[in-house]
Homo-oligomer: A and B are copies of this chain.
Amino acid sequence: MMMENDRPKEACGVFGIYGHQSAAELTYLGLYALQHRGEESAGIVAANGKKAKSYLGMGLVADVFGGRFDKLLPGHLSIGHVRYSTTGSSAARNIQPFLVDYAGGGQLAVAHNGNLVNSTQLRNHLESLGSVFQSTMDSEIIIHLIARSRKKDFAEKIVHSISQLKGAYSFVFLAGDMLIAARDPYGFRPLCLGKIDNAHIIASETCALDLIGAEYLRDVEPGEVIFIDKNGLHSLTPFPKKKHSFCIFEYIYFARPDSNIFGGNVCLTRKMIGRKMALEMAADGDLVVPVPDAANYAALGFAEESGLPFEMGMVRNHYIGRTFIQPTQSIRDFQVRVKLSPIKSLFRGKKVVVIDDSIVRGTTGRTRMNTLRRAGAREVHLRISCPPHRFPCYYGIDFQAKGELIASSREIEEIRQHLGVDSLEYLSLDGLLQAMPVDSKEFCTACFNADYPLKPNEEIAKHRLEE
């Protein structure tokens, strides 16, 4: 990834636990492990079966909670959420989990990873019935649907409400003394089930289980709704089956390398991607260098397959803080340079194969490539571990707020010239799919080829762009 504030942004990470006396603390730790899925805000709802309380804040998990668990209600039940959100003060009202009081004095909370494609219609309909909305979050919609559901049984309310949603969703709910998990029938986003002591856990990725020493049981299946309470776990699969559409970008970039998702391990899959790259687009280079950290494993795989030496040729500065301010215009490109410093001794006079996982905008990529040349590289060959991103994602990834995907409007040769590299190649979609650890038909690849599993209508697309 070329630049951190130039990254595609994942919507969220979710976590839930039922049946542990340190429920809120374990949720905190779980969110810590899921931090990469959302760096802008964090929240936890903790409950004791009678009462639920939330604590939310802007910033990283550690900043929001600062290790002070006195802010959280002691209890055996908790859900948590990390998210990216738009900048500005009003973002505060969009922090999840979303907690409300509803009929009969009950409390209901939800944390959501994904993106609905019929949210505008649902919202308009609900507003016409008299609902009011305090946030712009999809998760507020599902809350209203449940609150208005005429079904008698609570499980039926949940199922009936979810059945009205279209799009990507991996939900955890906290309702009274119950934890509920639900994943859309396409399975766009990962969601897994684990166990620690006698407590059940729901998490976006298995790395959250590992950190707290919990055991992985299985994935929450696409289309599955799981209810967990004092009587144990109860599973339903109430929705029509759909062709699985796992987000392939989770493997390429988002998920943590130590997680297992969609039936495979992320690190091993990235290495396999790197091997496919080497086979498909062999470069005449002296060494292989990843843009750290996301491209490390693809580069390792590339090096192993190609036989070229692997070098960690760029030193990542770990001190880049949030307070950093571009010093002056005269010290050009400082912010790009300070993040990654090339090791001149490795680059001097060499033909370097650089591995990265995407090119979103060209500006920072150009600067980055330029620093390699100034470090002495004779030739720079850039290899990208996936096809060009040409189409927007409607299922939870914010590739680019303004739709400025560089590849959507430019030819590869044009991008190569812009970046100033000697050659530029992208992995083919076929190559990428061959590297997958499970059946390649189970993936959504719409951002590469516009093959959308759920057709977005015009209105939604427009709404999306305006936001």
Hey, which bits of chain A sit against chain B, CB under 8 A? 22, 25-26, 28-29, 32-33, 35-36, 39, 53-56, 60-63, 66-69, 71, 89-90, 92-93, 98-105, 108, 127-134, 143-144, 147-149, 207, 210-212, 256-258, 260, 265, 267-268, 293, 296-297, 300, 304, 309-312, 315-321, 323-328, 330-331, 334, 337-338, 341-346
Contacts and interface: CB of A to CB of B under 8 A. Distances in A.
A147 B130 contact: yes
Given A66-B323, A343-B265, A343-B267, A103 B90 contact: no
Nearest to A35: B319
Contacts of A130: 102-103, 129, 131, 144, 147-149
A contact face: mostly helix, strand, loop, or mixed: mixed
Contacts of A207: 315, 341
Contacts of A311: 300
A29 to B, nearest CB: 6
Contact of A331 (B22, B53, B102): B22
B22 A53 contact: no
Contacts of A337: 211
Contacts of A258: 315, 341-345
A124 B329 CA distance: 43
13 contacts: A35-B319, A63-B321, A67-B324, A100-B132, A100-B134, A104-B128, A211-B341, A256-B341, A260-B345, A265-B343, A265-B345, A297-B312, A300-B312
Given A33-B317, A131-B131, A210-B341, 10 more contacts: A25-B328, A66-B323, A67-B327, A100-B133, A129-B130, A210-B344, A211-B334, A256-B315, A267-B346, A300-B311
A331 B29 contact: yes
A127 B104 contact: yes
Contacts of A99: 134
Contacts of A53: 89-90
Contact of A61 (B102, B210, B319, B331): B319
Contact of A133 (B102, B257, B343, B345): B102
Given A132-B102, A260-B345, A90 B54 contact: yes
A26 B328 CA distance: 10
A14 B321 CA distance: 21
B62 A319 contact: yes
A4 to B, nearest CB: 10
Nearest to A332: B213
Nearest to A55: B89
